[in-house]
Amino acid sequence: MSRAVEVAVVGGGPGGLSAALAAARAGAQVTLLDGYTRPGGQYYRQPPDRLMARATRRQRQGRALWQQARDAGVEILSDWVVWDAAPDRTLAAAGPDGTTLIHPAALVLATGSYERLAAFPGWTLPGVMTSGAAQALLYQGVAPGKRVLLVGAGPLQLTTAAELLHAGVEVAAVLEAAPVLRKILPHAAAMWGQWERAVEGLESVLALASRGVPYRTGWGIVSAYGEGQVEGARIARLDADWRPVAGSEREVACDTICIGYGFIPFNALSRLAGAQQEWRPELGGEIPLRDKHMQTTMPGIFAAGDGAGLGGYRSALLEGQIAGLAAAAFLGRAGLGQESALRGLARRLERERAFQRLYSSLFAPELGLYELAQPDTLICRCEGVTLGDLQAAVRENGAASFVEAKNITRCGMGECQGRVCGQMIPQIISRLSGVSPEQVGSNAPRPPLFALPLHRLRAADQAAAGRSFERRL
């Protein structure tokens, strides 16, 4: 079955909610499709209703934005997974009763990002998880473990550690791979006016310090060990290229290891829709090319937030507003004063981008991160492809591109569709073959973007789909 809408927004995080709100306030009829059980995305991830009294300020802000969007008349379809997008803006969206083809007159993609991981020996042991996974458990009132080690790059590790401590969970240490303090001095000017961010970071550092939890910058994980699950980690001081310094290694006992090296934009839908992509490592990798109104190279397809280039929630809120107004204008719903509103948003966005440049220069992964895996370490967790398999593909079969490595080993072809290993493989092939990561290329997204039960992939019949729409209105 199919359905025409004026503006479709994909993604219910800060970018998607603000886009939907802006478009609705400009007079457009808006449908927001979100793959999760409730809006908020990762940044505004909502607690279960029974724990709402304990919600954080961030969760309350998210709930307020969700309610504003609903009050403005946005139709919010939660647990609707968009698994394909066409150049004519048609979306294949799996609802509870099957798939509906949505035909929007304008489309805003606000699909967010997911955590960047890097393989190390032991990284497949249960108990190794992203910081986002630990937060998700914590917000449901469940601790990820008894004693947690956090390793990675960027402020999320610090924030998560502070949240774990606040919930009464023991934190073994926080290891920040980037030599933050040494690197931040040349950028002090860019921090001007960023006091809110500085205070947030400082609060987390103080929370750690007050409980005697070590926060080590320029340190990282070498391997994890344990029988059937994590029992500890080997850690080491890192050099400027994030390579472990010989002789600095030590062991840390822990049952949980949270990892995360920044984020990867989820650009698959804009790519499937035919929007031209560009390679911008400082914004997370491959992202859609956009004009100042967040329009991709495909007319009427806009992209906002981390999924179109990393910038954090403040950028996502601003880009969402710009994209929402521009989507409404695309339908001829430009209100009075729209031009000056857009100019104001653009000025604020420019300031946010200055911070993003600082952020990426501080925490961008160095090559050593991708050298921790040993020949028997899995790179593609789904298909069981090891570093040794990739070495053989390059050295014996001459693979020099992602596609060739995939044809030989099946890397990136499993259940996750390469979302976990897809960004490491170009780095690994590049190191083995001498070809640049950009030339190695990326893993092409293929529909359905998410593995779904067949009853959700097949076309929803008219009656069933009608019922599910009503349930959510």
User: Under the rule (CB under 8 A), what is the footprint of other proteins?
Assistant: 35-37, 42, 47-51, 53-54, 114-115, 124, 126-130, 132-138, 140-146, 167-168, 227-229, 255, 266, 378, 381-384, 414-416, 419-420, 450-451, 453
Report residue 44 as tokens.
């505004």
Of the CA atoms within 13 Å of residue 246, those in its CB half-sphere come to 0
d(CA 457, CA 467): 17
Q: Name which of 134 and 440 has its Cβ closer to other proteins.
A: 134
Between the CA atoms of 174, 179, 185 and 187, what dihedral angle is there, to the nearest 10 degrees?
-90
Put residue 262 in one of left, alpha, beta given phi > 0 → left and psi -120 to 50 → alpha.
left
Q: What is the DSSP letter of 313?
A: H
**What residue ranges in 275-364 does DSSP mark as E strands?**
277-280, 285-288, 301-303
Shortest Cβ distance from residue 158 to other proteins (Å)? 18
Is the C-alpha dihedral spanning 112, 426, 383, 275 positive or negative? positive
Q: Name which of 142 and 253 has its Cβ closer to other proteins.
A: 142
Q: Name which of 129 and 272 has its Cβ closer to other proteins.
A: 129
d(CA 88, CA 368): 42
Shortest Cβ distance from residue 295 to other proteins (Å)? 26
Q: Coil, strand or helix: which one is 305? A: coil
| Residue whose token pair is 């808006």 | 30
Q: Name which of 223 and 295 has its Cβ closer to other proteins.
A: 223
Shortest Cβ distance from residue 74 to other proteins (Å)? 22
User: Contact 226/125 with Cβ under 8 angstroms?
Assistant: yes
For residue 314, CA distances in Å to 62, 289, 310 come to 12, 20, 11
d(CA 104, CA 235): 50
Report residue 373 as tokens.
């895996």
Shortest Cβ distance from residue 62 to other proteins (Å)? 15
The long-range contacts involving 56-62, CB below 8 angstroms and separated by at least 24 positions, are: 59/139, 62/14, 62/17
Shortest Cβ distance from residue 141 to other proteins (Å)? 3
Shortest Cβ distance from residue 338 to other proteins (Å)? 35
Q: Name which of 57 and 192 has its Cβ closer to other proteins.
A: 57
Q: Name which of 58 and 353 has its Cβ closer to other proteins.
A: 58
Shortest Cβ distance from residue 133 to other proteins (Å)? 3
Shortest Cβ distance from residue 455 to other proteins (Å)? 8
| Residue whose token pair is 């779904």 | 452
Q: Name which of 54 and 446 has its Cβ closer to other proteins.
A: 54
Is the C-alpha dihedral spanning 126, 131, 136, 141 positive or negative? positive
Q: Name which of 22 and 449 has its Cβ closer to other proteins.
A: 449
Cβ atoms within 10 A of the Cβ of 371, count? 18
Shortest Cβ distance from residue 139 to other proteins (Å)? 9
d(CA 284, CA 47): 28
Report residue 179 as tokens.
């030599």
Q: Name which of 63 and 89 has its Cβ closer to other proteins.
A: 63
- From 143, 181, 178, select the one nearest 163 (Cα to Cα): 143
- From 314, 312, 344, 428, select the one nearest 378 (Cα to Cα): 428
Report residue 370 as tokens.
């991708």
Q: Name which of 51 and 199 has its Cβ closer to other proteins.
A: 51
Q: Coil, strand or helix: which one is 192? A: coil
Report residue 287 as tokens.
């992202």
Q: Name which of 84 and 352 has its Cβ closer to other proteins.
A: 84
Q: Name which of 153 and 164 has its Cβ closer to other proteins.
A: 164
- From 465, 412, 463, 405, select the one nearest 430 (Cα to Cα): 405
Shortest Cβ distance from residue 317 to other proteins (Å)? 20
Shortest Cβ distance from residue 193 to other proteins (Å)? 31
Indicate the burial class of 402 (C-beta count within 10 angstroms; 0-12, 13-18, 19 or more).
Answer: buried
Shortest Cβ distance from residue 135 to other proteins (Å)? 8
